[in-house]
């Protein structure tokens, strides 16, 4: 089996995401309640879950080198938004994990679609729109994640829109889980800060202006307000992550 290297630790780790998910499920049964991670043992479990989620997110990002570390960026932005909205440490930690896992369903989307340079046709869009449901199905059997309230729903609904015009179910407003509304804004902000085949990356200020423009239509206005309130903190976090990308890529090989 080949090895990969984490961008910060450079520690080789074996990569078998779905097999590892099943092993983790068995190893963590019974799992201590994630709401009461007060002992050293529980804190170690929580750290392991974060590391596991990060590894899975990095694996998805590796399918397209243009999205290097996107999942990690979504995770830190979402966590910052949650903290600004007054969420508890536990709730913001769940957001962080969900941020890493939000696009895990793209493992079921063909590379030719993910890496296409240009507009997607109707069939390709249909395949893309399947990834939230695929992702929710992937994490559902893993007790470690299902015990952490809301992660599966955040993955499933992170492409819903506040005006009800998103997917997969066309939910709108408060019918969309709050965590999914936060992930949606964090996902879009991160995407706007990265180059795409059809456009150049935006500056941080330009991306914030776009979030404001879409407040109340694509995004929850309260979430957008939280992003603006934490703009300097989020900007600093993004810069720190960009600096870390000067090291070797998040993942350089898979199997």
CATH number at residue 61: 1.10.3210.10
Distance of CA 203 to the CA centre of its chain: 21
The pLDDT of residue 45 is: 60
Report if residue 249 sits inside a domain. Answer: no
Q: Where are the beta strands (DSSP E) in 46-128?
A: none
pLDDT digit of tens for each residue in the chain (255 aa)? 333 333 333 333 333 333 333 333 333 333 344 444 445 555 666 777 777 788 788 777 777 666 678 999 999 999 999 999 999 998 999 999 999 999 999 999 999 998 888 889 999 999 999 999 999 999 988 877 766 679 999 999 999 999 999 999 999 999 999 999 999 999 999 999 988 766 788 999 999 999 999 999 999 999 999 999 999 999 999 999 888 765 444 433 222
Cβ atoms of 135 and 102 within 8 Å: the answer is yes
The pLDDT of residue 44 is: 65
- Please compute Rg for the chain using Cα positions: 17
The pLDDT of residue 27 is: 33
The pLDDT of residue 195 is: 80
The pLDDT of residue 9 is: 35
The pLDDT of residue 26 is: 36
**225/46 Cα distance (integer angstroms):** 30
Q: 156: helix, coil or strand?
A: helix
Report if residue 110 sits inside a domain. Answer: yes
The pLDDT of residue 206 is: 97
- Residue 167, Cβ neighbours under 10 Å: how many? 17
The pLDDT of residue 18 is: 36
Please give the model's pTM, rounded to 2 decimal places. Answer: 0.78
State the residue range of the domain holding 55.
15-244
**162/80 Cα distance (integer angstroms):** 20
The pLDDT of residue 16 is: 36
Report if residue 74 sits inside a domain. Answer: yes
Compute φ and ψ for 119, nearest 5 degrees. Answer: -60, 145
Report if residue 88 sits inside a domain. Answer: yes
Report if residue 23 sits inside a domain. Answer: yes
Report if residue 132 sits inside a domain. Answer: yes
Structural domain tally of the chain? 1
Report if residue 2 sits inside a domain. Answer: no
């Amino acid at each position: 089996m080949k090895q990969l290297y984490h961008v910060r630790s450079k520690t080789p780790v074996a990569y078998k995401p779905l097999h590892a998910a099943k092993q983790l499920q068995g190893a963590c049964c019974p799992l201590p309640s994630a709401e009461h991670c007060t002992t050293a043992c529980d804190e170690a479990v929580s750290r392991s879950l974060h590391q596991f989620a990060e590894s899975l997110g990095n694996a998805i990002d590796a399918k397209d080198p243009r999205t290097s570390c996107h999942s990690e960026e979504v995770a830190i932005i979402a966590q910052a938004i949650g903290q600004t909205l007054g969420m508890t440490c536990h709730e913001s930690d769940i957001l962080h994990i969900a941020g890493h896992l939000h696009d895990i369903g793209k493992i079921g989307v063909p590379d030719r679609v993910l890496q296409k340079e240009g507009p997607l046709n109707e069939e390709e869009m249909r395949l893309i729109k399947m990834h939230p449901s695929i992702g929710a199905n992937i994490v559902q059997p893993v007790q470690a994640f299902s015990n952490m309230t809301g992660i599966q729903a955040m993955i499933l609904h992170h492409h819903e829109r506040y005006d009800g015009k998103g997917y997969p179910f066309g939910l709108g407003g408060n019918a969309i889980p709050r965590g999914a509304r936060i992930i949606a804004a964090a996902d879009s902000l991160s995407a706007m800060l990265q180059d795409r085949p059809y456009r150049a990356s935006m500056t941080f200020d330009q991306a914030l202006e776009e979030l404001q423009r879409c407040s109340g239509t694509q995004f929850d206005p309260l979430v957008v307000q939280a992003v603006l309130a934490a703009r300097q903190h989020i900007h600093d976090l993004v810069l720190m992550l960009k600096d870390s990308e000067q090291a070797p890529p998040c993942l350089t090989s898979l199997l």
